[in-house]
Chains A and B, each alone.
Chain A
Amino acid sequence: MRHIISILIENESGALSRVAGLFSARGYNIESLTVAPTEDPSLSRMTILTSGSDEVLEQITKQLNKLVDVVKVVDLSEAAHVERELMLIKVRATGKDREEMKRMADIFRGRIIDVTESTYVIELTGSSSKLDSFIAALDAGLILETVRTGVCGIGRGDRILKV
């Protein structure tokens, strides 16, 4: 099962390596990991996309909570939440492909944020599967480069992760 774990962690140097080290030492999956300071700069918020059985997930949250720097842990996927991922994708945009690329970006509600004679950089936000579909919809030969942030997510409504 796919799970999105959100972590509030002290914004100390080395905090990221404690989390990453825990996952590799115990053989847990990390499909993506994003981290940045919160509105309170002494805290970082980390989002980890992982997968595993219920037992493994139980251990992951327990082990994360055990890290001394970790303030809070929730499994977002246990309840209603929204998740987004950002992708920047550089594509070849010449000749008839130029118009086609523009059209595809529009269909997926992407934005072209950099333009040269032969390339576009398209910014696309959405669920990971939407980004996957966008990539699948393009002619693979025209994709020059992609970069994705990994998933970040937040609980819906009153579900708040705060100190």
Chain B
Amino acid sequence: MMISGAEIVIRCLQEEKVDCVFGYPGGSVLHIYDALFKQDQVKHILVRHEQAAVHAADAYSRSSQKVGVALVTSGPGVTNTVTGIATAYCDSIPMVVLTGQVPTQYIGQDAFQECDTVGITRPCVKHNFLVKDVKDLAVTIKKAFHIAATGRPGPVVVDIPKDITAQMCEFEYPKAVQMRSYNPVVKGHLGQIKKAVQLLQEAKRPIIYTGGGVILSDAADKLTQLARKLNFPVTNTLMGLGGYPATDRQCVGMLGMHGTFEANMAMHYADVVLAIGARFDDRVIGNPEHFSEEKRRVIHIDIDPSSISKRVKVDVPIVGNVADVLDEILKLMDGGFTAEPEVADWWKQIDEWRGRDSLRYRQSEHIMPQFVVEKLYEVTGGDAFVTSDVGQHQMFAAQYYKFDKPRRWINSGGLGTMGVGLPYGMGVLMANPDAQVACVTGEGSIQMCIQELSTCKQYGLPIKIINLNNGMLGMVRQWQEMFYSKRYSQSYVTSLPDFVKLAESYGHVGMRIEKPEDVEPALRKAFTEHKNDLVFMDFIIDPAANVFPMVAAGKGLTEMILAEDL
């Protein structure tokens, strides 16, 4: 039977078991929206800005094992998505973005709402396609899902001219795709894996350093098994939080710019580093020269060869999928691995570092942001999905909410995009309808996608917004305080809205919390009495609170500034 290109698009989504897409209509996708209208398998969430559609689709992926989908119109619809696409790209998040394009015969003629979508998005996608023939439509969409979710995941854009969505064609959805140019490695090289196991056995001061790759590979359980077997300390990057239970004794916390004292010291002085799905980011190892002063041997498991030996020289590279490689390592260890490596002295040292209690914070008559996150952790039983924006509040959430499970911590690490928090909450709830979702944000960030309060009302998405309101672009202010002699250039936010009234005007519940003793009751009320409401909690916090420990830009990992030093 012949069906239209628009119907093909929808059939493809159904075949991919996509239950919802986030989008915004416009001229060049009208046929597709018409096809959407005629079915009810694929639900559509109408956002208020295309950027939010992409962020929501991104969080849908982050918080589940499925691929999020966004649908937007040509021209401004597409340009509005770019921040969202780049955000997903930097964190290797699988996603498919369907974009309308002007009719084929108008392309290149400066047509109304025409833009070079493939050109504009090329540097921030894993791959993109322009569909030129309706006969290629289904296979292109199949390829898009395949490419997005396999190998090192990433966003894929499919640009579809309007005339293609009107043309009629037989529909057949390919069961699988074969691409001679794209065959990501899955299994690691056995010889290399054996070398790694050997090295692990010889380690005296080992550390397991894990990142987003463990989450993306759904390998948290395997990592835990391995770490327990080895009795090695584990540190997570910001993207790896929840990949290993934060409340476990072996977890030394996050490392890097705002990592714990013990994590950074252990990373720096380790003699063997087992890096798993982590890419030695500049916010993680600090100054690379300083880092390389200490001799250590590095094993690096990553599915993307270009992540290996990019910033730090690796001794045992293992290209492969984390879950598969960990399986192999565990198998080898069940076989020959006998003596537990002697790490008791190392643990003694680590516990001494731990004794510094580097996350202790100053008390104040005002609400301290760290305290709010600690209470949030208690009230939600440590089991919420926590989305965040970018700034001090993001670091506080990462440091003080102890994530025991993967895919619970949803934030923008690589691009550091302010504005993601609220749409991330929407994506999480669409993928996990019964979950508790908290969005830890700041008064700066939340205003970058505040319009989505309207979407949340329309679809009844009961996000709990934890606004750590310091009246400042706090993270900027912190740098200015520390490195620009307190010249607070443009980091003070005036004319803030009354967030309570704002929330109420959208039909939500608003609360303002100004005293430390009101923090916990307010949170409890929000998560019980207002379980099914979106609650905007405006916490007026101590504006002078800063994030510590801190490794200043250009400094080495061990040159941390601790709260106690000040």
Q: Which residues of A contact B (CB under 8 A)?
A: 9-10, 13-14, 17-18, 21, 25, 55, 58-59, 62-63, 65-66, 68-71, 163
Q: B113-147 vs A: 1/0 string, CB under 8 Å? A: 00000110011001100100000000000000001
How far does the Cβ of A105 sit from chain B's closest Cβ, in whole Å?
Answer: 43
Residue in A10, A63, A68 with the greatest tally of chain B CB atoms within 10 Å: A68
Beyond A17-B119, A18-B122, A21-B122, list 5 extra A-B contacts (CB 8 Å).
A13-B130, A25-B123, A65-B306, A66-B304, A163-B180
Whether B306 lies near A59 (C-beta < 8 A) is: yes
CB of A17 within 8 A of CB of B181, answer: no
Interface of A is mostly: helix
A17-B119, A18-B122, A21-B123 given; A62·B305 CB < 8 A = yes
Chain A residue nearest in CB terms to B147: A68
Q: Are A71 and B181 in contact (CB under 8 A)?
A: yes
Q: Does chain A have a CB within 8 A of B483?
A: no
Closest to A8 in B: B181
Contact B118 A68 (CB under 8 A): no
A66 touching B306 by the CB < 8 A rule?
Answer: yes
Does B228 sit at the interface, judged by CB under 8 A?
Answer: no
The distance in angstroms between the C-alpha atoms of A18 and B181, with both chains bound, is: 14
Residues of B within 8 A of A (CB): 118-119, 122-123, 126-127, 130, 147, 152, 179-182, 304-306, 309-310
Which of B119, B123, B130, B306 is A63 in contact with, Cβ under 8 Å? B306
The 19 sampled A-B contact pairs (Cβ below 8 Å) are A9-B181, A14-B118, A14-B130, A21-B122, A21-B123, A59-B306, A59-B310, A62-B305, A62-B306, A63-B306, A65-B306, A66-B306, A68-B147, A68-B179, A68-B181, A68-B182, A69-B127, A71-B180, A163-B180
The 8 closest A-B pairs by CB, nearest first: A62-B306, A68-B127, A71-B181, A62-B305, A68-B182, A25-B123, A63-B306, A10-B181
Contacts of B180 in A (CB 8 A): 71, 163
**In whole angstroms, how far apart are the Cα atoms of A66 and B306 in the complex?**
8
CA of A63 to CA of B305 in the docked complex: distance in angstroms? 9
- Within the complex, what minimum Cβ distance (angstroms) separates A41 from chain B? 15
Contact of B126 among A9, A10, A68 (CB under 8 A): A68
Residues of chain A lying within 8 A (CB to CB) of residue B118: 14
Q: What residue of chain B has the Cβ atom nearest to residue A62's Cβ?
A: B306
B191 shortest CB reach to chain A, Å: 20
> Bound state CA distance, A9 and B118, in angstroms?
18
**Nearest A residue (CB) for B308:** A62
- B309 contacts across to A, CB distance below 8 A: 55, 58
| Residues in chain A near residue B306, CB distance under 8 A | 59, 62-63, 65-66
Residues of B contacting A25 in the complex (Cβ-Cβ under 8 angstroms): 123
Shortest distance in angstroms between A25's beta carbon and chain B's nearest beta carbon? 5
> With the chains together, A59 CA to B180 CA distance in Å?
22
> Which of these, A58, A63, A69, contacts B181 with CB under 8 Å?
A69
Q: Using CB atoms, name the residue of chain B closest to A22.
A: B123
Rounded to whole Å, the gap between the CB of B182 and the closest CB of chain A is: 5
Q: In the complex the two chains form, what is the Cα distance from A146 to B126 in whole Å?
A: 39
Q: Tell me the smallest distance from the CB of B84 to a CB of chain A, in Å.
A: 19
Instruction: Give bound CA distance, A9 to B119, whole Å.
Output: 18
Bound: A18/B147 CA distance, A: 16
